[in-house]
C-alpha cells in the first residue's frame, strides 16, 4: 500500500502553509500498518501536522462505513436517531450548532452537511427551520447505506459534490478538518460550493491549545511514553485558535463569529468511581480545572465553533 502522498514533498504546515515545521516529541508518534507517523510543530501558527501525509487509499480504508460503527458502537449506523442527543458528548459537540440553527430563518435556504455521518438531529434542526438538507460523505458504500437508511434525505459522495455545480446558502463542516492532510484544499472546494452571501460553519477540536490536560499529554509524551502509539492516524492536525484563524484567512474567508470552549472530551464524562484508575482520576481533575479556567477566560478551551463568509477581498 502506498502511504506517502505525492503532495508530501515540501511539507508545509497543514493550517498556514508555511515551511516552518519542526519534528516534535510533544505528541507521541503513531504506528499504523507498519508505518510510523510523526507530528511536526509549526513555528508560525503553533499547530501540529502529522507526516507522512495520508494517501487517498489510506483515507478510503480508514473512513469506510465500518469507521462510524467503530466510533459509535452503541448507536450504529442503522439507528434512525443517530447519536443520542441526551448524551453529554453529543451536547459538547453540537450544542453551538443547534443554537445557531435555532436562531436563523432557513426557509427556502439550502444547507450542506459536509462529513455528515448519520446525525439525525442536524437534519431535523435544518428541516424544522424550513431549510433543505443535503449530506455528503467520502466513502461511496457509506453514502449508499445512508440513502437506504434515510430515504427521505439527500446524500452525495464528496466526488459527486466536487463534480457538480451545486451551491448552498449554508455549509457545515463539523469535526472534519482535523482528519485531513490538506484542509486548505477542502476549504477551497467548499468555497466553490458556497453562495456569494453564504455562511460556512466549521467546528472541531483545538488539540494544541494551551491547557492543563494538553500539558499533561505533552509531559507524558516527552518523559514517559517515547514509543509510537499503535493507533490509526485519525487526527492528522492538531489546532490552536491561531492556526484556525490562519487557515480561514488563507482560504479567503472572513471571520464573523468565533466561540472557544472547553468540553469533557476525551473523557465521556467526569466520574470518580472505584472503577476509574489513578491516571484517569488525575486527568479528570485537570479537566475540572480546565473547565473552570475556560469559564473565566473566553479564549481558553479545547474546541472551536466558527462562522465565516467569503472574503470581500482577494477574490
Ligand atoms: Zn502553521
Q: How far is the CA of 246 from the centre of ligand 1 (A)?
A: 8
Contact predicate 279/273, CB 8 Å:
no
Q: How far is the CA of 247 from the centre of ligand 1 (A)?
A: 8
Q: What is the mean pLDDT of residues 27-37?
A: 92
Q: How far is the CA of 127 from the centre of ligand 1 (A)?
A: 38
- On whether residue 13 sits in a domain, the answer given is no
- At 60, the pLDDT band (50, 70, 90 cuts) reads confident
Cell numbers placing 233: 492516524
Q: 100-133: per-residue pLDDT in tens?
A: 999 999 999 999 999 998 888 899 999 999 999 9
Q: How far is the CA of 232 from the centre of ligand 1 (A)?
A: 23
- On whether residue 1 sits in a domain, the answer given is no
- On whether residue 150 sits in a domain, the answer given is yes
Q: What is the pLDDT of residue 135?
A: 96
- At 274, the pLDDT band (50, 70, 90 cuts) reads confident
Q: How far is the CA of 47 from the centre of ligand 1 (A)?
A: 6
Mark out the alpha helices in the chain (DSSP H runs). 56-62, 65-71, 88-102, 120-128, 140-149, 158-163, 183-192, 212-219, 241-250, 278-296
> CB-based burial of residue 152 (10 Å sphere; 0-12 exposed, 13-18 middle, 19+ buried)?
exposed
Q: 83-100: per-residue pLDDT in tens?
A: 444 566 777 788 999 999
- On whether residue 10 sits in a domain, the answer given is no
- At 57, the pLDDT band (50, 70, 90 cuts) reads confident
- On whether residue 48 sits in a domain, the answer given is yes
Coil vs helix vs strand at 10? coil
Q: How far is the CA of 68 from the centre of ligand 1 (A)?
A: 29
Q: What is the mean pLDDT of residues 3-20?
A: 73
- On whether residue 114 sits in a domain, the answer given is yes
Nearest Cα to Cα of residue 241 among 214, 205, 287: 205
Q: What is the mean pLDDT of residues 166-183?
A: 94
User: Whole domain around residue 287: which residue ranges?
Assistant: 21-310
Q: What is the CATH number of the domain that holds 246?
A: 3.40.50.150
Contact predicate 181/54, CB 8 Å:
yes
- On whether residue 2 sits in a domain, the answer given is no
Amino acid at each position: 500500500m502506498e502511504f506517502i502522498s505525492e503532495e508530501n514533498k515540501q511539507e508545509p504546515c497543514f493550517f498556514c502553509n508555511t515551511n516552518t515545521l519542526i519534528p516534535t516529541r510533544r505528541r507521541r508518534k503513531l504506528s499504523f500498518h507498519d508505518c510510523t507517523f510523526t507530528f511536526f510543530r509549526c513555528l508560525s501558527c503553533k499547530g501540529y501536522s502529522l507526516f507522512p501525509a495520508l494517501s487517498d487509499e489510506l483515507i478510503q480504508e480508514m473512513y469506510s462505513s465500518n469507521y462510524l460503527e467503530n466510533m459509535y458502537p452503541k448507536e450504529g449506523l442503522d439507528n434512525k436517531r443517530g447519536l443520542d442527543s441526551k448524551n453529554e458528548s453529543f451536547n459538547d459537540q453540537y450544542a453551538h450548532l443547534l443554537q445557531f440553527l435555532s436562531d436563523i430563518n432557513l426557509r427556502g435556504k439550502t444547507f450542506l452537511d459536509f462529513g455528515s455521518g448519520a446525525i439525525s438531529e442536524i437534519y431535523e434542526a435544518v428541516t424544522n427551520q424550513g431549510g433543505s438538507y443535503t449530506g455528503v460523505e467520502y466513502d461511496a458504500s457509506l453514502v449508499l447505506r445512508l440513502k437506504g437508511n434515510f430515504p427521505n434525505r439527500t446524500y452525495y459522495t464528496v466526488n459527486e459534490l466536487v463534480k457538480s455545480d451545486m451551491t448552498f446558502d449554508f455549509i457545515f463542516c463539523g469535526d472534519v478538518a482535523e482528519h485531513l492532510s490538506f484542509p486548505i484544499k477542502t476549504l477551497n472546494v467548499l468555497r466553490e460550493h458556497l453562495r456569494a452571501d453564504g455562511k460556512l460553519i466549521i467546528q472541531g477540536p483545538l488539540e494544541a491549545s494551551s491547557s492543563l490536560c494538553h500539558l499533561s499529554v505533552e509531559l507524558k509524551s516527552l518523559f514517559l511514553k517515547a514509543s509510537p502509539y499503535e493507533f490509526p492516524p485519525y487526527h492528522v492536525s492538531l489546532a490552536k485558535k491561531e492556526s484556525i484563524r490562519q487557515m480561514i484567512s488563507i482560504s479567503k474567508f472572513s471571520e464573523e463569529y468565533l466561540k472557544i470552549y472547553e468540553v469533557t472530551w476525551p473523557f465521556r464524562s467526569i466520574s470518580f468511581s472505584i472503577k476509574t484508575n489513578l491516571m484517569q482520576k488525575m486527568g479528570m481533575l485537570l479537566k475540572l480545572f480546565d473547565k473552570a479556567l475556560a469559564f473565566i477566560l473566553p479564549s481558553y478551551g479545547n474546541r472551536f465553533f466558527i462562522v465565516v463568509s467569503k472574503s470581500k477581498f482577494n477574490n
